[in-house]
Amino acid sequence: MDKTKPTIMITGAAGALAQQVIQRLRENANIVAVDFREQVYLGDEIPSYCIDFNKRGFEDLFRKYNFTGVIHLGRIMSSQETRMRRYNANVLGAQKLFEFCHKYEVKQVLVLSTYHVYGAMPYNPALIDEQAPLKAAELTMDLIDSVELENLSTIYLWKYPDLNITILRACNIVGPEVRNTISKILGSEYAPTLLGFSPIMQFIHIDDMADAIVLAFQTIKPGIYNVAPDDWVSYQDALLRSGCKRVQIPSIPPVLPKMIIKTFNLKKFPTYLVNYFKYPVVIDGRLFNKTYNFRPQKSLSDIFNYYKERKLMQGKGEY
């Protein structure tokens, strides 16, 4: 490893977003890739590990590499793993990560969070800013680990200011290779919706999100930031523009859609996210945009055209 360059640990390395971040940083930094789920090959010059943050071997990485920074993208999403395993990885694992960062004098930590932490409720105002309470845990146990990860990051942000923790609460990240719930829905031919509900949503292209992460990491300004473009669209309009055929699920009484989803085992439309397809959670990204002079390059039309064109190519057997 080049000792003149900073050494950065990037978690969640098997994910598409992490790989984009690695591509942007590998020229000017020594990268160490870590993932909870699988080991990925990212070239000979990038050491890659599949490791559980709660295992003793995790600390050895801090002993072996003198990390200057950590980009923690390895949050297990709500649609993956069991609730207990997610809690262990996302909360207890992250606590280990912060403790090691402090012990081994890491100078900067970036944590990727999600707008889900605000919670989807009928009384949500629009343009929710960073000071708003995190209500997601009230809705479902399945989002508790996401809220807890946030709370833990905030505790360490104040407890160890030398860690320079930056927390990014991103809106829906979509685009090529993204495997989250919303991206799977936009990419599918038939997309579920709740009859009579079409909440306003925000989308950010994976390229722009990778740029946002690199920008936030390269400029040390610790704090909590929403990341979202100044552009909005209703969910059902987004589906139509992405070339999806809408499958309307009855929405009242509230127990009915959950029953239908469970009966038909609609994994791409999980019951604990149902409220996010019913009520808007529109976040205010202006603080981040102003602080980092950030402006997404990909428009909503670019995003939806990608999904539409991909479907057309699949139809022609070219994809």
Residues that bind other proteins (CB under 8 A): 122-127, 194-200, 230-234, 237, 240-241, 251-252, 279-280, 282, 284, 299-301
The smaller minimum CB distance to other proteins, of residues 41 and 123, is found at: 123
The torsion region of residue 27 among left (phi > 0), alpha (psi -120 to 50) and beta comes to alpha
At its nearest, how many Å lie between other proteins and the CB of residue 280?
7
At its nearest, how many Å lie between other proteins and the CB of residue 232?
4
The smaller minimum CB distance to other proteins, of residues 93 and 257, is found at: 257
At its nearest, how many Å lie between other proteins and the CB of residue 266?
19
DSSP H helices in the chain? 16-25, 57-64, 83-87, 93-103, 136-139, 144-159, 181-187, 206-218, 235-241, 255-263, 286-291, 300-315
Helix, strand counts (H, E) of the chain? 12, 13
- Given a contact cutoff of 8 angstroms between Cβ atoms, the answer to whether 125 and 182 are in contact is no
The smaller minimum CB distance to other proteins, of residues 92 and 247, is found at: 247
At its nearest, how many Å lie between other proteins and the CB of residue 127?
5
The smaller minimum CB distance to other proteins, of residues 76 and 227, is found at: 227
CA angle 241, 244, 248 (to 5 degrees): 115
The smaller minimum CB distance to other proteins, of residues 81 and 302, is found at: 302
**In angstroms, what is the C-alpha Rg of the chain?**
19
At its nearest, how many Å lie between other proteins and the CB of residue 226?
12
**Tokens standing for 318?**
């070219």
